[in-house]
Amino acid sequence: MSAAEPALHLEPNQQLNREVQSLYCDHHGWLKGWLRRRMGSAADAADLAHDTFLRLLARDAPIAAREPRALLATVAHGLVANFYRRQQIEDAYLAALAALPEAQAPDPETRALAIELLVEIDRRLDGLPAPVRRAFLLSQLDGMPQAEIATQLSVSIATVQRYLVKAMHQCCFAADAAQAG
């Protein structure tokens, strides 16, 4: 770790914190370089390196990695995928906003909140089977009636209804279930 890199200040009596601190001291510079090569941006690489160590600190179980760089690369790879996915969502949202008359465009705070909501909905829908996700998007984004969705997906209207209930449940209650568990 160079003098310019901030140190993690952790409770020394916790095994997980010690493991993460050791990983940070030994591999933070390497991880930032690895991310910089993939991202093309030193600032994004620094942010994702930071998020990688935060993700490790949030674990409940000890790390005990035999291949620490492989572990860090695996965690960081998931964060890079999330970063690009979020970027795609944000770009699509901003493109849709650009098509609106200026008077209808939301203020920056509303835009930021909308992007966070879209990213969260995308995250929740990601775990659903493709036909369920597709039925939900056709219904909610395109305003397509259930009969047309059934025709397009080659399923019954009852199946479309089950798909929509499943997707709505995933969107509305997934966070509650995760917090309760």
**Residue 69: inside a domain, yes or no?**
yes
**Residue 79: inside a domain, yes or no?**
yes
**Residue 45: inside a domain, yes or no?**
yes
**Residue 65: inside a domain, yes or no?**
yes
**Residue 109: inside a domain, yes or no?**
no
Per-residue model confidence (pLDDT) at position 177: 46
Per-residue model confidence (pLDDT) at position 121: 84
Q: Are residues 30 and 81 in the same domain?
A: yes
User: Cα–Cα distance between 3 and 48 in angstroms, integer?
Assistant: 20
Q: Which amino acid is at 47?
A: D
Q: Are residues 99 and 153 in the same domain?
A: no
Q: Are residues 77 and 149 in the same domain?
A: no
Q: Are residues 1 and 83 in the same domain?
A: yes
Assess whether pLDDT exceeds 50 at residue 135. Answer: yes
Residue 129, classed as helix, strand or coil, is: coil
Per-residue model confidence (pLDDT) at position 14: 60
Per-residue model confidence (pLDDT) at position 7: 54
Instruction: Extract the tokens encoding 175.
Output: 């966070």
Q: What percent of the chain has pLDDT over 90?
A: 53
Q: Are residues 32 and 80 in the same domain?
A: yes
Q: For residue 54, how far is the Cα from the chain centroid?
A: 14
Please give the angle made by the CA atoms of 38, 40 and 42, to the nearest 5 degrees.
Answer: 105
Per-residue model confidence (pLDDT) at position 38: 93
Choose among 115, 113, 48: nearest CA to 86: 115
Q: Are residues 51 and 94 in the same domain?
A: yes
**Residue 159: inside a domain, yes or no?**
yes
Residue 102, classed as helix, strand or coil, is: helix
Question: pLDDT tens across 5-27, in order?
Answer: 555 554 443 676 888 888 899 99
Assess whether pLDDT exceeds 80 at residue 179. Answer: no
**How many structural domains does the chain have?**
2
Per-residue model confidence (pLDDT) at position 26: 92
Domain end point (choices 72, 104, 136): 104
The region that residue 40 occupies, defined by phi over 0 for left and psi between -120 and 50 for alpha, beta otherwise, is left
**Residue 110: inside a domain, yes or no?**
no
Q: Are residues 100 and 137 in the same domain?
A: no
Residue 93, CB-side half-sphere exposure with 13 Å CA sphere: 20
Instruction: Extract the tokens encoding 35.
Output: 């991310």
Q: Which amino acid is at 109?
A: E
Q: Are residues 147 and 82 in the same domain?
A: no
Choose among 59, 73, 67: nearest CA to 20: 59
User: Cα–Cα distance between 144 and 135 in angstroms, integer?
Assistant: 9
Would you say the C-alpha torsion 144, 147, 149, 151 has a positive or negative sign? negative
Instruction: Extract the tokens encoding 31.
Output: 């991880």
Instruction: Extract the tokens encoding 12.
Output: 């020394």
Per-residue model confidence (pLDDT) at position 73: 95
Looking up residue 152, the CATH number of its domain turns out to be 1.10.10
Q: Are residues 92 and 152 in the same domain?
A: no
**Residue 66: inside a domain, yes or no?**
yes
Q: Are residues 61 and 5 in the same domain?
A: yes
When pLDDT is cut at 50, 70 and 90, the band that residue 152 belongs to is very high
Question: pLDDT tens across 14-69, in order?
Answer: 676 888 888 899 999 999 999 999 999 999 999 999 999 999 888 877 777 789 99
Question: pLDDT tens across 100-124, in order?
Answer: 888 788 888 999 999 998 888 888 8
Structural domain span for residue 141: 127-181
Q: Are residues 2 and 89 in the same domain?
A: yes
Q: Are residues 153 and 86 in the same domain?
A: no
